[in-house]
Chains A and B, each alone.
Chain A
Amino acid sequence: MRVPILKQGDCLIASVQAAPTDTALVQLQQDLVEQAGRFHSRGAIIDVTALDVMDSFACRALRAVTQVLRLRGTETAVVGIQPEVAFSMAQLGLTLEGAATALDLGEGLAHFQKSKGGANRGG
């Protein structure tokens, strides 16, 4: 099942389902990179609210897509990690370096709004 990606302004929103297969995650990487390039997106929000488990593979996949997107000028935010999943990741020592994290989609969008506002003010 392909992870759906929506465009909202200059952000892309990918909502990951409960238990994505490895194939779906790899497909997500490709889709995000392709679309971020096409739309010159400033931000990519990966919503993992529904994700049941963040294992080492999923973590590597997210870190990889974050790196590739950054090279193309798109910042990534991973949002919606649930308490139990966060706990499990911390116990495994998994981090999402390079990506911003936020509580949910709303906070994720606010994050990009803020940085946009800052850019305008600061110049």
Chain B
Amino acid sequence: MQSTKTRSTAKAREVTVEELVTHFRERRESLRTQWVQAMMTKDLLSGLTEEEVHTESTAISDTCVGCLETGKYDDAESYAKRMTERGALRGMMPEQILAGMLTLRDVYGRSLFERYRRDPARLLSALDAYEPVASRIVSIIAVAFVAERERVVRQQQDAMREMSTPVLQIREGLLLLPIIGLVDSLRARQLTEQLLRSIRAARAKVAVVDITGVPVVDSKVANHLLQTISAAQLMGAKVIVTGLSAEIATTLVAVGVDLSKIHTLCDLQGGIDEADRLLGYRVLHVREETGRTQ
């Protein structure tokens, strides 16, 4: 008898999802307004028009309650996707978005405290149902926003890299690509693409790739070089690699990199001289002062 009573009391204490949803829906506009107010107080809405604030806050808060009701997060995911596609909230910083979403979670959470403050057991039950949903939605929206920003930033960086074309045309038919800094797979690919496009644009027959400024030349970098050389050759251009020290070459051979395909000279000047020879120029080093030819 005792256990049955406990069980039914426990059941009566439980706050159902329907109860929560009804609670939030009844207070829909007031909670949304509270949330917006809270964000304004924290100065999180700079850069947004009133209309934007109204539209997005309505969409987000409705989506949240919807997810709470269905137990599924599809709506939040598609809102996040649409948000990034539309470019909505693009002017905001990630900190603002995250703080804004956390404020939403707090404002709605507080309303539960208000309602159930005289009944700790029911308050706990309500929070148990509410908190995981709120946290998950904060995460979905904040992460989507940040991912989109990262994508845009990467695009901009790529555009800048393209514009700052490191491929130089020294003479007709001769390109120079000085590489400075670490080379990872992504950078290697970008450099290769730029070189190949430059070969086409400049109708180059020889390209000197100088890696003196590359601090780490491991087998990965060497393989990228080999691929670049292959690709350039398919376009009718020879590649001369300069700045590959004897030590590095020995190490690479030791780990099995086939350097036979790399036409390499130690220093840049030597590389350019060789390129000139390949292009059919005779190389004369004339000393300025004495006028002697060496």
Touch between A and B in complex, CB under 8 Å? yes
Residues of A with Cβ closer than 8 Å to B?
78-79, 81-87, 89-91, 93, 95-96, 101-103, 107
Judge whether B236 and A102 touch: CB under 8 Å: yes
A96 touches B234 (CB 8 A): yes
**CB-CB < 8 A to B237: which residues of A?**
103
Scoring B203, B230, B233, B234 by chain A CB atoms within 10 A of each residue's CB, the highest score goes to B234
Report yes or no: B199 in contact with A91, Cβ–Cβ below 8 A. no
The B179-218 residues at the A interface (CB cut-off 8 A) are 189, 192-193, 196-197, 199-200, 203
B230 touches A101 (CB 8 A): no
Contact with A87, one of B203, B231, B233, B236 (Cβ below 8 angstroms): B231
Answer whether residue B228 sits at the interface, using C-beta atoms and an 8 A cutoff.
yes
- Residue pairs across A and B with CB atoms within 8 Å: the count is 54
Interface residues of chain B, those whose CB is within 8 Å of chain A, are 189, 192-193, 196-197, 199-200, 203, 227-228, 230-237
| Best-surrounded residue of B192, B227, B233, B235 (most CB of chain A within 10 A) | B235
User: Can you list 18 pairs linking A and B with CB atoms under 8 Å apart?
Assistant: A79-B236, A81-B234, A83-B193, A83-B196, A83-B197, A85-B234, A86-B231, A87-B227, A87-B231, A89-B230, A90-B192, A90-B230, A90-B234, A93-B230, A95-B234, A101-B236, A103-B203, A103-B235
Contact B236 A103 (CB under 8 A): yes
Cα distance, A94 to B172, chains bound together (Å): 29
Alpha-carbon distance A14/B189, docked complex (angstroms): 31
Q: Considering residues A84, A87, A89, A96, which has the most beta carbons from chain B within 10 angstroms of its beta carbon?
A: A87
Using Cβ atoms and an 8 Å threshold, which residues of chain A touch B196?
83-84, 86-87
CB distance from B162 to the nearest CB of A (A): 13
**Interface contact B200-A103, CB-CB below 8 Å:** yes
By a CB distance below 8 angstroms, the chain A residues around B193 are: 83-84, 87
The interface residues of chain A lying within 8 Å CB-to-CB of B200 are 82-83, 103
Interface contact A95-B230, CB-CB below 8 Å: yes
Complex contacts, B232 vs chain A, CB 8 Å: 86
Residues of B within 8 A of A86 (CB): 196, 230-232, 234-235
B227 touching A90, Cβ below 8 Å: yes
Q: How far is the CB of A101 from chain B (nearest CB, A)?
A: 5
A27–B40 Cα distance when bound, in Å, is: 73
On chain A, the residues within 8 Å of B228 by CB distance are 90
Look across to chain B and name the residue whose beta carbon is closest to the beta carbon of A77. Answer: B236
Given contact pairs A83-B199, A86-B196, A87-B196, A107 touches B231 in the complex (Cβ within 8 A): no
Which chain B residue shows the least CB distance to A81? B234
- Whether A89 lies near B199 (C-beta < 8 A) is no
**Which chain B positions have C-beta within 8 A of A107?**
203, 236
Contact of A87 with B199 at beta-carbon distance under 8 Å, contacts A81-B234, A96-B234, A103-B235 already known: no
Alpha-carbon distance between A77 and B197 when the two chains are bound, in angstroms: 21
Within the assembled complex, what's the spacing in Å between the Cα atoms of A85 and B230?
12
Q: Which residues of B contact A78 (CB under 8 A)?
A: 234
With a CB–CB cut-off of 8 A, which chain B residues contact A85? 234
When distances are taken between beta carbons in the complex, the residues of chain B under 8 Å from A89 are 230-231, 234
Tell me, in angstroms, the Cα distance from A89 to B193 when the chains sit together: 13
CB distance from B168 to the nearest CB of A (A): 18
Contacts of B235 in A (CB 8 A): 81, 83, 86, 101, 103
A90: which B residues are within 8 A, CB to CB? 192, 227-228, 230-231, 234
A81 to B236, CA, bound (A): 9
Q: How far is the CA of A107 from the CA of B196 in the complex (A)?
A: 16
Would you call B233 and A101 a contact (CB within 8 A)? yes
Chain B residue nearest to A80 in the complex (CB): B235
Given contacts A84-B193, A96-B234, A101-B234, 18 further A-B contacts (CB under 8 A): A83-B197, A83-B199, A83-B231, A86-B196, A86-B230, A87-B192, A87-B227, A89-B234, A90-B227, A91-B227, A93-B230, A95-B234, A101-B235, A101-B236, A103-B199, A103-B200, A103-B203, A103-B235
